[in-house]
């Protein structure tokens, strides 16, 4: 709608709406055009009238530029639902005659009974409250020397934190490499310390010697021979001294030592197995496959055959005879009485029943033993005098 001429808009305090209207009494009336002198002609009067009209039009244009003819009024939205019955001019939220009205559409949508907030740019119902008043910034307290020092300290702390973060960011690779070196050095130092503690600590000193695998040798004799190592840390046990002490026992073919922390040394013994007896000046010597004398006696050892070989225990005939004895099955070995071998190619066996077995050399001894077992089954000992298996593919029984 147009505002009557002569009203100047003035800003309403506390709102963002249109300005208040200024009374016309404060404005200066436009100057009246000078009256035409009575002595002028009709043409002069017409020209003066045109000039006055042009001047009035220019003044009106200037007033229109300075004062807009239209102002923005708030747009009233149509009320829906229960608000449609609200009488014009009544307060929002009340019905006819001031009675409380039902919740409006805005209240139902927002879940509140508060009135809809005013649109941006519209005048508020209360000049002291509203969205514009709530949006006003809170004035800061005046700056004092104490607050200035506090701000300076906070700024210094923030700068130091920023500098430290930048240093960490640019030195992350070098720090990672340094941490790896430190971890490797720490691991190596811990390993060295563990080894030193294990070697020189009295907690790892040898206190017990455990001997296993002995049959003919008393275990106490071996423990007594090694008691010089007691009190020595397990990693520092003198294995050369242990070997020298155990070599005094001829029945020991081999041995294995095992350290069992914290204070035990286990010695596993493998004794020599006797294979037969060799006649000697003193009687009989029980020997193993290497010809080592296990024991000597005047009487023949029971359960072992007598081995007669040219050259003694160090000759080739003795090694061939031993190979044949080890190839025999246990059933035939228990019936074996003697073995004779002048050379490595003429090994001859004698069974307890008196039967003689011509063996030949030690080659294919396992196959010859199978053939001999079959011949004994088909021709028992005592029914024949000789089994010839020197050629196992064509064995002969006599």
Q: Which of 214, 243, 271 is the last residue of a domain?
A: 271
* Separation between Cα atoms, residue 287 and residue 282, nearest integer Å: 14
- For residue 117, the model assigns a pLDDT of 47
Are 285 and 383 within one domain? yes
Same domain, 331 and 391: yes
Give the pTM: 0.48
**Predicted local confidence at residue 207, as pLDDT:** 92
CATH number of the domain at 209, please.
3.10.20.310
| DSSP H or E segment with residue 257 | strand 252-260
Domain count of the fold of the chain = 2
Question: Where does a domain end: 222, 251, 271?
Answer: 271
Q: List, edge to edge, every strand of the sheet that includes 306-309.
A: 293-297, 283-288, 274-280, 306-309, 336-341, 347-351, 356-360, 386-388, 396-397
pLDDT number for residue 262: 84
pLDDT tens digits along 145-163: 888 999 999 999 999 999 9
Any domain includes 60? no
Give 329's contacts (C-beta < 8 A, 6+ positions apart). 369, 373
Looking up residue 324, the CATH number of its domain turns out to be: 3.40.50.11690
Structural domain span for residue 263: 203-271
Residues 232 and 338 in one domain: no
Residue 379 shares a structural domain with residue 307: yes
Q: What is the pLDDT of residues 75-104, one digit of tens each?
A: 454 444 444 444 444 444 444 444 444 445
Inside any domain, residue 155: no
pLDDT score, position 62:
54
Please tell me the predicted confidence (pLDDT) of residue 44: 56
383, 283: one domain = yes
- Terminal CA-CA length for the chain: 153
Do 352 and 319 fall into the same domain?
A: yes
360 and 263 inside one domain: no
Which ranges in 1-142 belong to alpha helices (H)? 42-66, 105-110, 131-135
Q: Which residue among 216, 241, 271 closes a domain? A: 271
- Regarding whether 238 and 219 lie in a shared domain, the answer is yes
Q: Pull the structure tokens for residue 363.
A: 């080659």
Mark whether 320 and 382 lie in a shared domain: yes
- Indicate if 236 and 342 belong to the same structural domain: no
- Whether residues 211 and 290 share a domain: the answer is no
Low-confidence spans in the chain with pLDDT less than 70:
1-49, 57-135
DSSP characters for 129-148? SSHHHHHSPPPPPPP-HHHH
């Amino acid at each position: 709608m147009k505002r009557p001429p002569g009203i100047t808009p003035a800003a309403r305090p506390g709102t963002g709406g249109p300005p208040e209207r200024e009374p016309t009494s404060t404005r200066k009336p436009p100057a009246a055009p000078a009256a035409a002198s009575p002595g002028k002609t009709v043409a002069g009067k017409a020209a003066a009238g045109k000039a006055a009209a042009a001047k009035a039009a220019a003044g009106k244009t200037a007033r229109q530029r300075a004062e807009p003819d239209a102002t923005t009024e708030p747009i009233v939205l149509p009320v829906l639902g229960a608000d449609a019955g609200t009488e014009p001019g009544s307060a929002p939220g009340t019905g006819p005659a001031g009675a409380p009205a039902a919740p409006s559409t805005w209240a139902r949508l927002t879940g509140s009974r508060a009135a809809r907030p005013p649109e941006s740019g519209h005048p508020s119902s209360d000049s002291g409250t509203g969205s514009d008043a709530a949006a006003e910034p809170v004035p800061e307290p005046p700056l004092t020397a104490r607050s200035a020092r506090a701000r300076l300290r906070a700024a210094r702390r923030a700068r130091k934190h920023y500098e430290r973060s930048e240093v960490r960011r640019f030195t992350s690779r070098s720090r990672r490499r340094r941490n790896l070196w430190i971890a490797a050095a720490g691991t190596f130092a811990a390993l060295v310390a563990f080894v030193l503690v294990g070697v020189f600590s009295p907690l790892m000193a040898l206190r017990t010697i455990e001997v296993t695998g002995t049959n003919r040798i008393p275990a106490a004799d071996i423990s007594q021979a090694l008691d010089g190592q007691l009190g020595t840390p397990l990693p520092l046990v003198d294995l050369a001294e242990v070997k020298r002490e155990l070599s005094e026992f001829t029945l020991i073919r081999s041995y294995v030592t095992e350290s069992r922390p914290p204070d035990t040394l286990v010695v596993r013994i493998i004794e020599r197995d006797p294979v037969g007896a060799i006649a000697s000046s003193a009687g009989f010597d029980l020997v193993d496959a290497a010809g080592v004398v296990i024991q000597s006696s005047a009487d023949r050892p029971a359960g072992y055959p007598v081995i007669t070989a040219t050259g003694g225990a160090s000759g080739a005939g003795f090694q061939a005879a031993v190979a044949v004895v080890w190839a025999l099955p246990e059933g035939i070995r228990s019936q074996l009485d003697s073995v004779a071998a002048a050379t490595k190619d003429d090994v001859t066996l004698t069974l307890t029943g008196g039967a003689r077995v011509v063996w030949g050399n030690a080659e294919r001894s396992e196959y010859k033993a199978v053939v001999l077992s079959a011949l004994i089954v088909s021709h028992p000992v005592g029914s024949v005098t000789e089994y010839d298996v020197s050629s196992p593919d064509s064995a002969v029984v006599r």
